[in-house]
Every structure is written in C-alpha cells, then in structure tokens.
Amino acid sequence: MDKNNKKLLIRRAIEARKNAYAPYSNFKVGAALLTKSGRIFQGCNIESASFTPTICAERTAIFKAVSEGETDFTAIAIIGGKTGKKIDISNSAPCGVCRQVMREFSNNLKIIVAASENDFREYSLDEILPHSFGPEALN
C-alpha cells in the first residue's frame, strides 16, 4: 500500500467521521475500510439513547462491506476524538470488540490510526490482538 493510498483512506475516514452520531459521548469516530478488490467502505459510530446498541465506526464499515458481499480486507483507517478537541492517536485505537470482529475476516489486517493525513500510526491486527481466537478454532 503506497503513501498516497494511505492518505486517501485517511481522508475517507475523516469524511465518514462527519456523519458520526454521538450525542451521548461526543466522541466521534470515522473509519474507511479498503477491500482486496479495491472498494472503500466508510463507517461512523452510531449511539443509542439506550446505550448498549451503540456501534463503533469500525464495525459499521466492516458490516457494510460484509453485507455487500466483501469479506477480504487490506486495511482500515480510523480517526476518532471528542468534538472540538485536538485528535490524539493514542486515544483512537480500535476497541476490543472491533478487534475481534476484524479477526473474523483477517489475521493480518493493516490498521491505520490517524489524527490527520500526515499524522498516523500503523499496526498489524496480530500486534494489537495477539494470541487471538479465530474461526479456525471451530474447524
């Protein structure tokens, strides 16, 4: 994945963050998921007044892709932070539930946690979800 594609994916995550529905936490997150076939699925977090139905941006993007028949992913860019505050990449790593959902479809997804197009950190899924449980265990 070259630098320009990473920047593009981050831009799409920034764009997706604008649609975040987070009136309770005011923590808005955007994600952009790149499939092996070259498509990009965007997602934002969506909260609920009854709290538990809340879904993260990452899972919104992944479920959109899976529901459109795409299950092979190359990378996901994520950007999150409180409205009106400077984004800090150390506060926007994907939550444990999303890591497990990522693991369902890949064990070497590239995770790009971004504060801007030029300020991001990359992780592999294996790095942030070591010793993981995955679908192979049920074979």
Task: Report, as residue numbers or ranges, the catalytic residues.
Answer: 58
Closer Cβ to ligand DUR, 37 or 119, answer by number: 119
Residues forming contacts to ligand DUR in the complex (CB under 6 A) are 22, 25, 27, 29, 45, 47, 54, 56-58, 80, 94-95, 98
Confirm or reject binding of residue 56 to Zn ion (CB under 5 A): yes
- What's the chain look like in SS3? CCHHHHHHHHHHHHHHHCCCECCCCCEEEEEEEEECCCCEEEEECECCCCCCCCECHHHHHHHHHHHCCCCCEEEEEEEEEECCCCCCHHHCCCCHHHHHHHHHHCCCCEEEEEEECCEEEEEEHHHHCCCCCCHHHHC
Closer Cβ to ligand DUR, 6 or 17, answer by number: 17
- Find which of Zn ion, ligand DUR, none residue 76 binds, CB within 5 to 8 Å per kind: none
Lookup result for tokens 């070497």: 108
Q: Is 44 annotated as a binding residue?
A: no
Confirm or reject binding of residue 98 to Zn ion (CB under 5 A): yes
Q: Residues interacting with Zn ion, by CB under 5 A?
A: 56, 95, 97-98
As annotated, the binding site for Zn(2+) includes: 56, 95, 98
As annotated, the binding site includes: 56, 95, 98
